[in-house]
Amino acid sequence: MSQSLARKGRMQAYKMVLVQLIISFILFLIGLMISGTVSLSLGVGSLIVVVVNFIFATIVFRKAGAQAALDIKKALNLGESLKLMLAAALMALAFIVLPVEGAPLLIGYSIIVLSQWFAPLIIKSD
């Protein structure tokens, strides 16, 4: 029972990550209308959030149920810490390695983060 709850939660989280990936692709296409650098910047900024959210969902939704409460708490702490550190590292790496512009990268990042606020409207619970 608890594993099916974990699987259900993981699937819901993965659906949101998929929606974020679709929004990232749309941002990338919108950026192409402006310039290649803006498109790359929007895409990289948004994909940073998608990647860290996928990793977070994978870590957090491994277990479920009352007996696994301590494991779930540890997973949440680990997932959130890893999410923040990885987001910062990927952001720094993007600025160092890629020819990105700061404003579009942060706009892409922010749009995908804000999309999480609308998750209940986008992803319906089964």
**pTM, rounded to two decimals:** 0.88
Q: Residue 112: which pLDDT band, with cuts at 50, 70 and 90?
A: very high
Chain segment 19-28, per-residue pLDDT in tens = 999 999 999 9
User: pLDDT over 90 for what percent of the chain?
Assistant: 68
Chain segment 5-48, per-residue pLDDT in tens = 778 878 888 999 999 999 999 999 999 999 999 999 999 999 99
User: pLDDT over 70 for what percent of the chain?
Assistant: 91
Higher pLDDT, 72 or 51: 51
Average pLDDT over residues 110-116: 94
40-76 burial, b at 16+ Cβ within 10 Å, e below that, comes to bbbbbbbbbbbbbbbebbebbbbbbeeebeeebeebe
CA distances from 59 to 1, 9, 10, 37, 79 (A): 19, 12, 9, 33, 6
- Neighbour tally for 23: CB within 10 Å: 19
Domain ranges of the chain: 2-117
What integer best gives the mean pLDDT of the chain? 90
Q: For residue 121, count CB atoms less than 10 angstroms from its CB and return exposed for 0-12, middle for 13-18, buried for 19 or more.
A: exposed
pLDDT for 8 equals 82
Sort residue 65 into left (φ over 0), alpha (ψ -120 to 50) or beta: left
